[in-house]
Amino acid sequence: MRKAVIRVELWYTDQHTKNVRFSMKVEQQIASCESEFQRIDILKTSEFGKVLVLDGELMITQKDEFIYHEMITHVPMAVHPHVRDVLVIGAGDGGTIRELCKYDTIEHIDMVEIDKKVTDMCLEHFWETSCRLDDPRVHMHFEESLRYVRMMKDEYDLIIVDCADPYGPAEGLFTREFYGTCYKALREDGILINQHESPYYSEHSRSVQKAHKQIKIVFPYSTVYQCHIPSYPSGHWLFGFASKKYDPIADLREDEWNRLGINTRYYNTDLHKGSFYLPTYVKQLLDM
């Protein structure tokens, strides 16, 4: 008699709110570990390819990380006319670094990630994002970022806060003190970009509202732009654009950026402009 073949069906669920669940079929648990700060898992899924999960929450997927990383990088890079020194906070997976390394004019990138284990895991299992971490311009610092930034003054043209959600290890990165520290670390025409969560579910929209309010107090120019990231809660994702001098639309160097011939799959300079035109309910939420 032939034995029946039994296949285990695995599903990973990201809890978008306590009443909404987003589940993806898993083919294989690639790697898992417990760091000093959090539980780290890399799974292979049928629809999204590899996914990185921290403390049970979805961070990036192979299928749509390009949207997040292109939008957090190319929007400021197409506005600021001479970015030489960049600070990236968080970003342990390397995706933001990969996009920054497409610009030959960038001379120095400091990456400050609190959890070295995340980077080690991505270097081993998520080379799609970590592939440029060996660029000689990249300097990795595995330490607490608030302390790191406090020591800096007039150091950077661009700071990108590519950190996890505003609770857990990244909690201190969503306070007014932190934004003031970033302001000081930026040169006189510097730009600060930070990931801002989603405006849709009330548990996230409150943190968007709070972060935007505090950045607005610190920076002369402060606005928000949006994109579609299907694997994130609600799929409607916001980034904050705060700047000492440049306006993200009036100062967009459209022709100049297009002449660089940088290959992107989501970002283009028309979409750049469109991403700052927000729905009415989001403008009301942010008091814009």
- Checking phi first, is residue 150 left (phi over 0); if not, alpha (psi -120 to 50) or beta? alpha
Contact 45, 58 (CB under 8 A): no
164 in a known ligand binding site:
yes
Q: Does 47 bind a second copy (CB under 8 A)?
A: yes
Residue 92 CA to residue 73 CA, distance in Å, equals: 15
Residue (of 69, 124, 125) closest to 100 by Cα position: 69
Sheet holding 108-112, edge to edge: 138-141, 108-112, 85-90, 156-162, 186-195, 236-243, 221-228
Alpha-carbon distance of 25 to 27, in angstroms, equals 7
92 Rama sector, left if φ>0, alpha if ψ -120 to 50, beta otherwise: alpha
For a second copy, give the closer residue by CB, 134 or 254.
Answer: 254
Q: Which of 14, 64, 110, 162 is catalytic?
A: 162
Is position 220 an interface residue for a second copy (rule: CB under 8 A)?
no
Smaller CB distance to a second copy: residue 12 or 179? 12
Buried-state track 48-58, b at ≥16 Cβ within 10 A, e below 16: bbbbbbbeebb
Three-state DSSP at 239 gives strand
CB 24 within 8 A of CB 40: no
Q: Which of residues 57-76 bind a second copy (CB under 8 A)?
A: 64, 67
| Rounded least distance, CB 254 to a second copy, Å | 12
Q: How far is the CB of 230 from a second copy (least distance, A)?
A: 4
Of 25 and 153, nearer to a second copy (C-beta) is 25
Q: Which is nearer to a second copy, 21 or 39 (CB)?
A: 21
> Considering beta carbons, is residue 154 or 203 the nearer one to a second copy?
203
Using CB under 8 A, pick the residue from 226, 242, 243, 246 that binds a second copy.
226
- By CB under 8 A, is residue 23 in contact with a second copy? yes
- Residue 11 touching a second copy (CB under 8 A): yes
- Is there a binding annotation on residue 230? no
Q: Is 74 annotated as a binding residue?
A: no
Tell me the two tokens of residue 149: 């930034």
* CB-based contact 101:130 (threshold 8 Å): no
Q: Interface with a second copy by CB under 8 A: which range of 114-122, 152-160, 178-186, 226-234?
A: 226-234
For residue 14, indicate whether it is catalytic.
no
Which of 126, 234, 242, 252 is in the footprint of a second copy by CB under 8 A? 234
CA separation for the pair 182, 194 (Å, rounded): 11
Binding region for a second copy (CB under 8 A): 11, 17-25, 45-47, 64, 67, 200-201, 226-228, 230, 234-236, 264-268, 270-271, 273-281, 283
Known binding-site residue numbers for S-methyl-5'-thioadenosine: 38, 113, 169
List residues forming the annotated binding site for spermidine. Answer: 69, 93, 162-165
For the annotated binding site, the residues are: 38, 69, 93, 113, 162-165, 169
Give the catalytic positions in this structure: 162
